[in-house]
A = this chain, B = another copy of it.
């Protein structure tokens, strides 16, 4: 079915896997809402998820780490492979080519590609968004306000969020979305943002403290408009114990 199948090269002249790509859903948390990092393609108003190709010389997990590094500047990342997308018609190829022909070379474009999806949780405050060579903007979007994306990226995002929610329900996930020190309401709002529902603060606090994954500090967060909330940190040892098995946790 594909018309052309040139041997693909990436830009370091590193050989890459043909017809295979990797897409990253990068979640951040700020101001009480979940955010996603999106890229705007050069000379267009079209947005997509960050992604890239997989080099012959790297593990796919490392490809995801590299792409994340390039887009966010972060080295310490929570990453999960969540699904591989391989429908024949993931999106309308002609439409994509017509939208992006000034950036991509239609001659070296495959009719079909399979994409491996990863999602990442990062500390919003430490990210320096960085466009790639196809794009001229890299920006956080509020999850609920994400526009129509190129390719099948809305579906990928939806599936990533679904996987994140599932994971959250049986594992503590927050580590990388919050700053090192955080308040209980911050953590609670993060859970609310991910799950998309309200949580009772008393029950939440009880549950989190009972699990032992956080340590209460003798410090409060000053400078807010109201009562200064107490600060907490994750108990890294306990946290890791609970995460035991399953997934890629780089720290």
The chain A residues found within 8 Å of chain B, CB to CB, are 1-2, 5, 7, 15, 17-20, 54, 56-61, 81, 83-84, 86-88, 112, 114, 116, 162, 166, 170, 245-246
Determine the residue in chain B with the shortest Cβ distance to A2. Answer: B56
Considering residues A17, A61, A166, A246, which has the most beta carbons from chain B within 10 angstroms of its beta carbon? A17
Closest CB of chain B to A80's CB: distance in Å? Answer: 11
Residues of B with C-beta under 8 A to A83: 81
How many copies of the polypeptide does the oligomer hold?
Answer: 2
Question: Which 7 residue pairs spanning A and B have beta carbons closest together?
Answer: A60-B86, A84-B84, A1-B56, A59-B87, A84-B116, A59-B88, A1-B57
Question: Could you say which of B5, B20, B56 contacts A7, with CB atoms under 8 Å apart?
Answer: B5
Determine the residue in chain B with the shortest Cβ distance to A116. Answer: B84
With contacts A7-B5, A114-B20 known, is A58 near B88, CB below 8 A?
A: yes
Determine the residue in chain B with the shortest Cβ distance to A83. Answer: B81
Residues of B with C-beta under 8 A to A87: 59-61
Residues of B with C-beta under 8 A to A20: 17, 19-20, 114
A116 CA to B60 CA in the complex, in Å? Answer: 12
With contacts A114-B17, A162-B245 known, is A86 near B54, CB below 8 A?
A: yes
- Add 7 more A-B contacts to A1-B56, A1-B57 (CB < 8 A): A5-B7, A18-B19, A54-B114, A60-B87, A60-B114, A81-B83, A84-B116
Closest CB of chain B to A51's CB: distance in Å? Answer: 15
Closest CB of chain B to A45's CB: distance in Å? Answer: 31
Residues of B with C-beta under 8 A to A162: 245-246
With contacts A18-B18, A19-B17, A81-B83 known, is A57 near B88, CB below 8 A?
A: yes
